[in-house]
Chains A and B, each alone.
Chain A
Amino acid sequence: MIRISLALGAIAAVAVVFAAQAASAEDDPKFKDTARLYDTYCAQCHGLNRNGKGVNTVGLSVQPRDHSDAAAMASLPRDQMVRAIRDGGASVNKSALMPPWSSVFTDAQIEQMADYLGHVCKCGKTNQEK
């Protein structure tokens, strides 16, 4: 009996872990940590599926960038992207609804986030290629 309930417990625990990871579902180990940061900080506006449709868009007059849109994302120069993340939308003449993240991320994490966005849209210029 104890053994069965232990086994059931283990199955339930695995199910919970899967459910918690389903939304970001990042298979590339290189981007796992950054995907988690995206879930924590960016998905509230840019969406669980990175499509610009986060829960907060209900209150937004300017819609967040769709990070899964390859064509639109490919047209964003990498340094503009980095600046927008670090210093906010206003710093690149975009909407101030895109907040600055330098109080939360290190410069290295912001570069990794830019790499990750290139991975998400499958249009990326990595740091080395820029």
Chain B
Amino acid sequence: MRPAAILAAALSLFAAGPAAAQGAADLKGQCGGCHALEKPADPTVARLWSRKGPDLWYAGAKFNRDWLVAWLQKPTPIRPGGVLWFAHAKAGEPRDTLDTAGVPPHPAVDAAAAARLADALMALKGDGVVAPGAFKAEGANLTMGKMAFSKLRGCVACHQEKPGEGGLSGPRLYDGGQRLQPDYVLAYTKDPQAFDRFVWMPRLGLSEPDLQRITAYIASLKAGQ
């Protein structure tokens, strides 16, 4: 390497260092009050009831960075009833409803902060809870994936696969292809209790082919299309 290149590399390292440290500090200071940034030592049902935001300790294995940067600047609801659907549910006829207007909007940040925070989030790898490469992109049948999602395996009971279509107690999945990494989708679908022992999506005991085709289907879902 030429001296100038070495100097440039050293400078960029120097630049990356403080910026990364700043991102991690901002994440802790501005976001850590509502979000678990480390795996909770002792998960309980009570913790789910008192949480102020979803867990982010595996964010780096979960999100697509581009989506994070955009969403942090312009957050839109992901869970129709907020972090705990129950807190915004009202009994009624013909069915219970969610008071979506009562769900507080998420704080927004500017573009520079969003990029910094996204980098800090992408560094939270989640203790190996997601197996890289578990999703095999080839050969999965989207039609059968949709059939499993919407009918046979009942995912649509709790998740929206299109805006306004599907259950409301789980996060929307109609933007799953933009928001989530496919290996995460597969890992979560396979064993939600590995992420939170008490989350209200149970392990559904799916076969490997089902996991592959459902993941392929979710990875194909894009909002606004």
Chain A residues in the interface with B (C-beta under 8 A) = 20, 23, 36-37, 39-41, 43-45, 47-49, 53-61, 88, 95-97, 99-104
List 9 A-B pairs, Cβ < 8 Å.
A41-B202, A47-B91, A47-B95, A55-B96, A56-B167, A59-B168, A99-B154, A101-B202, A102-B202
Which one of A20, A37, A41, A60 lies within 8 Å of B157 (CB-CB)?
A60
Looking at chain A's contact residues, the main secondary structure is: loop
Q: Are A59 and B166 in contact (CB under 8 A)?
A: yes
- Please measure, in the bound complex, the distance between the C-alpha atom of A56 and the C-alpha atom of B157, giving whole angstroms: 6
Contacts of B97 in A (CB 8 A): 55
- Please measure, in the bound complex, the distance between the C-alpha atom of A67 and the C-alpha atom of B182, giving whole angstroms: 37
Beyond the given A43-B86, A53-B95, A58-B168, please list 15 additional residue pairs across the A-B interface where CB-CB is below 8 A: A44-B85, A47-B95, A49-B96, A55-B169, A56-B157, A56-B168, A56-B169, A58-B95, A58-B166, A59-B166, A59-B167, A96-B153, A99-B157, A100-B202, A102-B203
Contacts of A39 in B (CB 8 A): 86
Contacts of B191 in A (CB 8 A): 103
- Write the nearest CB–CB distance from B80 to chain A, whole angstroms: 8
Q: Are A97 and B193 in contact (CB under 8 A)?
A: no
In this assembly, does B137 line the interface, its C-beta being within 8 Å of a C-beta of chain A?
Answer: no
Q: Are A100 and B205 in contact (CB under 8 A)?
A: yes
- Please measure, in the bound complex, the distance between the C-alpha atom of A86 and the C-alpha atom of B199, giving whole angstroms: 16
- Please measure, in the bound complex, the distance between the C-alpha atom of A103 and the C-alpha atom of B223, giving whole angstroms: 32
Q: Are B200 and A44 in contact (CB under 8 A)?
A: yes
A23-B89, A40-B45 are contacts. A96–B154 as well, Cβ < 8 Å?
yes
Q: Are B169 and A44 in contact (CB under 8 A)?
A: yes
